[in-house]
Every structure is written in C-alpha cells, then in structure tokens.
C-alpha cells in the first residue's frame, strides 16, 4: 500500500461524525450567503421565488378546471377562455418573478464567494512563518483554487435550486391536500423511501468527498513542486520516477472519486424511479375515485400535473446533495485556514519601534521550532549601532534561525532581545519590519515590471528614488538594456533574468525601502566573480552606516565585518573581528583554513573542532 493511501485510511472518520461536520460546514457556508448583511436580498429572493412558484403551481389546477369545463356537457366557451387567460397570467408571473429571484440569488452567491475568498486570502497574509513551513504552497494553492471552486458551484447553483425545490415541494403538497387529501396521501407514500435512500447515500458519499478533496490537494501540491523543480527532474533523469509517483497520487484520486461519485450518482435513478412510481399510484387511485364518483377527471389530471412538477424538484434535491457534499469538503479545508491564528502576535500593549541607532542586545536566548528540541541555547551577544556583523558556521548550525528571531518571524522560548533598549516582544511587528531590510539568498521577484518590483518596497516611493537605488546597486546598466527598460515585464520569479541580475534588483529594492537595519542571507551565492563584486559593492552601499547582519558560507564576504559571529550547534562559540579570531586559532580559524588552504578541520594547521548541526 502506498504512503498516500495509508494516510488517506488514517484520516477517514465515521459516517455519523462526518455528517455532523458536513452539516456544520454547510451552515457556515450558508451564513456567508444569507447572513445579516445579505438578509434583505435573501428575503426578496425568497418572496419572489414563492410568487413565481405560485404561478407555476396554478397551471395544473387551471388545466384541470379547463378540462372539467370541456368534459361538462353544459360547459361554456367563455369560461374556458377565462381559464386560458388565467393560465397565461400564471405563466407570466412564473417567468417574471423567477427572473427577479434568480438574479437576486446570483448577486448573493457572487457576494458570498467574494467575501469567502477575501477572508481566506486576507487571513493567510496575517499568519506567521511557521504556517507556511507546515503547509506546502501546492496545498495552499489548492485551497485557494480547487476548494474555492467547489464552494463557488455550491453558491451559484445549489443554494438557489435547493430553496426553489424545497418551496416547490412544500407548496405543491399544500395545494394537493386542499384539493383532495386522499390523493395527496397516495402521492406521499413514496416520500419516506426517497428520504431513506438519500440518507443512506449521504452516509456513504460524505466521507468519500472529504477524502477526495484531501487527495486533490496532495496531487496539486506534488504537481506544483514537480513543475517548480523541473530542472532537477530533468538533470537527475527522474522523469520515470516522477510519472510513477504522480500515477500513485492520481490512482488515489480515482479510487476515492469513483466511490464518492458512484454513490452520489445513484441518487438520480433512485429518485426518478420513485417519482414515476408515485405518478402511477396517483393515476391508478384517481381512476378508481373517478369511477366511484368521488372526484372529477379534472382533479385527477391536475394531480397528474402536480406529480410531474414534484418529480423535478425531488430530482434536483437528490442531485444537489452531491454538490453540497463536495462543497462541505472544500469548505472544511477553507475554514481550517480562515480559523488559523498567527503564532506570533503583537502584545496588547505593544508600542511602535523607535529607532535610536540600532543597538542590539540578546540575553540568554533560547529558541525551538518544535517544543523540546532546542535550536538556540542561552545565546548572549551585543551589537553596537552601525556595526556590521558577519555570521558563519556549518550548515544547520542555527545561522538563519538567529536571523528569524531578530526579525521576529518567530518568538523566542526564553531570554530577552532588546533593540535600542526596547524589548522586541513588546514592539509591533509592522513597525519593526518597516525598519529592517532583508536580502535573501533566493532572489524573489514578482510577475510585474522591473519598476513595480522596485516600488514594491515602500508605499509612496517614487520612480526617481527607484532609479537612484538601481544605480547604487549597480543594476541600472543592465536594466536600461532590457527590451523595455524599467517597464520590462518579468516572468514568474524573474526567470527571464540571470541570478545575479535578480539579486541586484532585490538589493535595489531594499534600498528603496530605506531600512535602518539590514540582514543579508547568502546574498552573493551562485554568481560569478565579476557579478559578485558588483553585488558586494551594492551591498556595501546598502549597509553603510547601518547596523547589519550578513550570513555567509564564503568567509571572504564577511572578512571585513566589524565582528564575526561563529555559530555551531545552536551556540555562539566565537564573536570577535576576523584578525582576533584568526589569532585564537579556534573554530573560525578551522573554517577559514578549510576554505582557503584546503585544510580540513582538525588538520595540521587547524584546531580539532566538531561541526554540529541543530
């Protein structure tokens, strides 16, 4: 059994539990469409729907009365004409008020979907960094697209049709009881069997639709990851493995989808059979009543018309259950994100960060991504205003983690971080990050023009400021040689630029932001020597006069830093300028020698040190 299948089996729940969950989700979805602000429209749509249905329901009665007039030896042509006019009026009522009702419900559905998608996307923007590590982009994309799409179908089709079908059934039965309660009871005999059948099918289909939406999210995530990593797939000749893995995901979707839709599709033949049987019962019982003189042919004909009108809404209700179950499955996943809360929150009494030079103090700081597994332990250090701090250490030592807590992407477990004498935990995140510029190893650019990517850094920035920043970052020269210069449209992630060009634009973007503190994370990796020199020059201008932190594996890029922080196994093992660290011949010396003299740590010219990952 595949891993995906095992996961699926573990996550299935009992039918009764899933039914309760589905009903709760559907109620919440409906609240978006018929909630307080939409209630006036809902009332209007319902009233016009009832008026339209009254016109529709009047037609069989009018037809029956006309038939009685025709079959009556003393019937009058004038009376028959009057009934015909009544029929035209009833039909016009039905058409006009149906149009008004459908238009009203369409407006409500559009508004509900807009509000749901807005709440979903808006809440995602408030969530902390750990949420995005736990939820792959492909799965989130599925939530925003696939799950929202099935909810959209529920709003645009199911809600209106269910309301129409429900009122139609209730009104028809009411009229049938008024005309002839005995024939009405005959028509009712099939309804309990229909309800039982729908209940059984729901118990089977509901859990399957929940699992189906999960599997669709999994396969979407795999597809997005594979497409993003297509170069790796091609270079490692893993096409066959990728196809096989995708086939496993697709097989799970097929297996669960077949079960879900097979159960749901059984509703249509079951409903059609029962409604046809209902029509036969009415006709047989009505015939005997006409023979015995207990009713008229017109009444039986009217009842036959009502039985036919009942078939359509009953079929609709049965078929729309599939839509509702699917919407419930998608809605559950959407609401799971909407209900998610950020783990990093501003304190109730949080204050705005007031920049006073960029003095930083970390005192006995502990941090863990997973409770009980320490990444940083009792770290204490101080950074004076305007100092440039280089951070180095083996892979997985905790360098990026240190940056993550300084920018407050995560809250620390214990200890204190002071920035310009202000406790980091008591500052608003927005005011802090407004003053902190970040340039990452992976240069991310939006699918937009070069100019708009630069202006993205700060609201209110001007094109003149963006161009000046590009010049300082050594990006202006290649930008003006692009097909449309600063108006050149970049493809996704800036794929139509080289790695070095993308990085120079991100440095220029950081300059536009006018930060007071700077963080650079491997900003010169994966570029040629000439481009690295241009990037380094731009970085020096960016960091000039600012307190800054630079993470680097290539120690030459941080050699001239005011101080170098050496991290190993979550501990700061050394913290001093380059020359002093080299004189100590300790951990930094071992790192440096391994890079520049081809001496492995522990060699004849290096201290015996142990490299530890967290």
127-181 pLDDT, tens digit each: 888 888 777 666 677 667 777 778 887 888 778 888 888 888 888 888 888 888 8
Predicted confidence (pLDDT) per residue in 519-566, tens digit? 888 766 556 666 777 777 777 887 888 899 998 888 888 888 999 999
CA distances from 218 to 103, 117, 515 (A): 37, 21, 39
Domain boundaries, the chain: 11-338, 350-435+519-524+547-614
Which candidate, 121, 64, 111, 110, places its Cα nearest to that of 87? 64
Domain 11-338 fold is ABC transporter transmembrane region fold (1.20.1560)
Confidence (pLDDT) at 601: 43
Give the residue from 302, 231, 363 showing the smallest Cα distance to 57. 302
CA distance 201 to 195: 10
Q: List pLDDT tens digits, range 211-255.
A: 776 777 677 767 766 766 766 667 666 777 777 877 887 887 777
pLDDT tens digit sequence for 41-59: 999 998 998 899 888 888 8
If you average pLDDT over residues 439-445, what whole number do you get? 80
Q: Stretch 346-367: mean pLDDT, rounded? A: 92
In whole angstroms, what is the distance from residue 149 CA to residue 147 CA?
5
Residue 595, pLDDT above cutoff 60: yes
- Range 350-435+519-524+547-614: architecture per CATH: 3-Layer(aba) Sandwich (3.40)
pLDDT in the model for residue 5: 37
Full DSSP string of 499-563 = HHHHHHHHHHHHHHH--SEEEEESTTTTS-HHHHHHHHHHHHHHHTTSEEEEE-SSGGGTTTSSE
Residue 1, pLDDT above cutoff 80: no
Return d(Cα 333, Cα 158) in angstroms, integer: 19
Separation CA 167–CA 164 (nearest Å): 5
Looking at the whole model, is its pTM more than 0.85?
Answer: no
User: What pLDDT does 69 receive?
Assistant: 73
Cα-based distances in Å from 11 to 6, 136, 285: 9, 18, 51
- Residue 375: is its pLDDT beyond 70? yes
Please say whether the beta carbons of 157 and 323 come within 8 A.
Answer: yes
HEC secondary structure over 130-175:
HHHHHCCHHHHHHHHHHHHHHHHHHHHHHHHHHHHHHHHHHHHHHH
CB atoms within 10 A of CB 530: 9
Mean pLDDT (the chain) is 80
Query: Any idea which residue has 């038939």 for tokens?
Result: 67
* Average pLDDT for 204-210: 68
């Amino acid at each position: 059994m595949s891993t995906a299948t095992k996961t699926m089996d573990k996550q299935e729940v009992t039918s009764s539990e899933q039914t309760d969950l589905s009903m709760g989700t559907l109620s919440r979805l409906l609240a978006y469409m018929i909630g307080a602000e939409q209630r006036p429209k809902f009332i209007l749509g319902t009233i016009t729907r009832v008026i339209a249905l009254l016109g529709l329901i009047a037609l069989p009665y009018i037809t029956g009365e006309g038939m009685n007039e025709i079959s009556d030896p003393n019937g009058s042509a004038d009376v028959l004409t009057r009934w015909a006019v009544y029929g035209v009026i009833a039909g016009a009522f039905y058409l006009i008020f149906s149009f008004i009702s459908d238009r009203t419900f369409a407006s409500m559905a559009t508004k509900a979907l807009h509000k749901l998608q807005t709440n979903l996307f808006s809440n995602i923007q408030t969530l902390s960094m750990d949420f995005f590590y736990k939820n792959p982009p492909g799965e989130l994309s599925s939530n925003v697209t696939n799950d929202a799409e099935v909810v959209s179908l529920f709003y645009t089709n199911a809600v209106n049709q269910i309301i129409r079908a429900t009122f139609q059934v209730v009104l028809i039965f009411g009229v049938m009881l008024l005309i002839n309660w005995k024939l009405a009871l005959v028509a009712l005999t099939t309804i309990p069997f229909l309800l039982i059948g729908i209940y059984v099918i729901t118990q089977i289909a509901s859990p399957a639709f929940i699992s189906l939406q999960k599997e669709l999210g999994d396969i979407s995530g795999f597809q997005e990851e594979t497409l993003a990593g297509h170069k790796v797939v091609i270079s490692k000749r893993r096409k066959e493995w990728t196809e096989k893995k995708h086939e496993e995901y697709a097989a799970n979707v097929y297996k669960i989808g077949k079960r879900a839709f097979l159960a749901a599709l059984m509703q249509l033949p079951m409903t059609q059979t029962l409604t046809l049987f209902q029509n036969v019962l009415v006709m047989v019982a009505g015939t005997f009543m006409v023979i015995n003189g207990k009713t008229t042919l017109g009444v039986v004909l009217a009842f036959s018309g009502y039985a036919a009108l009942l078939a359509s809404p009953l079929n609709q209700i049965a078929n729309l259950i599939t839509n509702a179950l699917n919407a419930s499955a998608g809605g559950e996943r959407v609401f799971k994100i909407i209900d998610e809360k950020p783990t990093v929150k501003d304190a109730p009494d949080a204050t705005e960060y007031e920049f006073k030079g960029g003095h930083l103090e970390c005192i006995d700081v502990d941090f863990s991504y997973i409770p009980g597994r320490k990444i940083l332990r009792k770290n204490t250090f101080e950074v004076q205003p305007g100092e440039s701090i280089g951070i180095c250490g083996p892979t997985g030592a905790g360098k990026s983690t240190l940056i993550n807590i300084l920018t407050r992407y995560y809250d620390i477990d214990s200890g204190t971080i002071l920035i310009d004498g202000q406790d980091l935990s008591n500052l608003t995140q927005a005011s802090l990050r407004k003053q902190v510029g970040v340039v990452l190893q992976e240069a991310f650019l939006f699918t937009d023009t070069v100019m708009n990517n630069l202006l993205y850094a700060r609201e209110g920035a001007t094109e003149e400021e963006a161009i000046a920043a590009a010049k300082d970052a050594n990006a202006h020269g290649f930008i003006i040689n692009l097909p449309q210069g600063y108006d050149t449209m970049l493809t996704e992630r800036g794929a139509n630029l080289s790695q070095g060009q993308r990085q120079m634009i991100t440095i220029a973007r950081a300059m536009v932001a006018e930060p007071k503190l700077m963080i650079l994370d491997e900003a010169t990796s994966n570029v040629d020597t000439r481009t690295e020199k241009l990037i380094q020059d731009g970085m020096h201008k960016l960091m000039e006069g600012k307190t800054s932190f630079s993470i680097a594996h290539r120690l030459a890029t941080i050699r001239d830093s005011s101080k170098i922080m050496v991290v190993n196994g979550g501990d700061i093992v050394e913290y001093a300028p380059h020359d002093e660290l080299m004189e100590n011949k300790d951990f930094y010396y071992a790192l440096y020698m391994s890079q520049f003299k081809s001496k492995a740590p522990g060699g004849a010219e290096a201290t015996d040190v142990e490299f530890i990952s967290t």
